[in-house]
Amino acid sequence: MRTTVGIIGGGPAGLLLGRLLDNAGIDNMVLERRDRAYVEQRQRAGILEQQTADTLRAAGAGARMDREGLVHHGIELRFDRGAHRVDFPSLTGGRGVVVYAQTEVVKDLIALRLADGGPLCFDAEVRAVEGATSDRPVIHYRHEAEDRTLTCDYVVGCDGFHGVAREAVPASVRTTYERDYPYSWLGILAQAAPVYDELVYAHSARGFALASVRSPTVSRLYLQVPNGTDPAAWPDERVWDELDARFALDDDPAWKLERGPVTAKAVLPMRSHVTEPMRHGRLFLAGDAAHIVPPTGAKGLNLAAADVTVLARALIHRRDTGSADLLDAYSDTCLRRVWRAEHFSYLMTTTLHTDPAHSPFDTRLQLAQLARLATSPHAAADLADNYTGLPLPR
């Protein structure tokens, strides 16, 4: 088989890239190693930056998001047993975020692609990428018990940190930057109506907590826990009690979360990772294949969407003008945004979490920074600007 752009990975990055290329009339094929049910149920991010939401709308993939997504105009910071709201529109010129789970983004993009007849191959295990520096790279994959090949003009790896694409970039030409954090998140999904209007980020002596939303009847909640924590060590009642303790307010001692059945529970490690460059010949990396951020800043899915938006524009520019200038600039263009997001995520993570090695001095520094965010419009504007998403380069 042959196509112009071979896309490895049928998550949000790969599917969005396929949609953008379909709309531009550039043929492409998406190969996903998992089945459709798995991909549509894979729990990940749920916060869409303004830029990401606008991209989905422009691509014709935003109708259900606009009907069912929840627009948030700020976040609440809780620290020192007090609450302080950061108002996004007043600080950013009107920007906000949309709460719409990655599972729903993926479902929408899959439905559109199948309806349009675009090639989307589930249960396709990519084994190797060959000839990345040639004019005709080849993807070797196995599907329906047969070994197959896909010859492409370009290959895009949207297959995550453990995927084949990143490993296809020789170790001699790539540099890895990474940081592991000394704590993890215990996340739960619960059939419980949120009792808060916007996301709540809590710093406490007991550790970090986050109250998020999936819908008016479903809550997504997180607790900071030690690395290596077994979810089974946290029965539901213990989770709810600890969440209430970390969100506690002096001026509202009766504030409690709405409790309900816990439908999912997992421990998420916290790490940062960047691979440079994000291009090797005609092989391009996007999303988690190139970079990972801790989830505190809500940047993972949004960085992936920005990557493939930049790449789609570059591929369209190449077709329309014959110029490879934008393709040649792809890695540098994306990495500028990636490192900005890495820094923001690092600051959010280290400011809000209780490090086991922290001294009382370190804790006072955290509280001083949080107090500045609560009282300085300049500091709050910087947080709001990064949280709602920086504009893509024109």
Q: Label residue 44 by pLDDT band (50, 70, 90).
A: confident
pLDDT digits (tens, 9 = 90+) for 217-268: 999 999 999 999 999 999 999 999 999 999 999 999 999 999 999 999 999 9
Distance (Å, whole) CA 82 – CA 195: 17
For 109-217, strand residue ranges (E) read 120-121, 125-130, 138-143, 146-157, 175-190, 200-202, 209-215
Distance (Å, whole) CA 27 – CA 21: 7
Q: Which residues contact 321 (CB under 8 A, 6 or more apart)?
A: none
pLDDT digits (tens, 9 = 90+) for 335-356: 999 999 999 999 999 999 999 8
pLDDT given for residue 274 in this prediction: 98
Contact of 61 with 112, CB cutoff 8 Å: yes
* Overall size of the chain counted in residues: 394
Identify which of 281, 275, 60 has the alpha carbon closest to the alpha carbon of residue 156. Answer: 281
Domains of the chain: 2-70+101-179+271-353 (3.50.50.60)
Lowest average pLDDT, out of 48-52, 189-193, 215-219, goes to: 215-219
pLDDT given for residue 109 in this prediction: 97
pLDDT given for residue 391 in this prediction: 85
pLDDT given for residue 214 in this prediction: 85
Q: Label residue 202 by pLDDT band (50, 70, 90).
A: very high
Which positions are catalytic? 72, 201, 295, 299, 387
3-class state of residue 354 by DSSP: coil
Report whether pLDDT(2) > 90. Answer: yes
Identify which of 235, 243, 241 has the alpha carbon closest to the alpha carbon of residue 262. Answer: 235
pLDDT digits (tens, 9 = 90+) for 59-115: 999 999 999 999 999 999 999 999 999 999 999 999 999 999 999 999 999 999 999
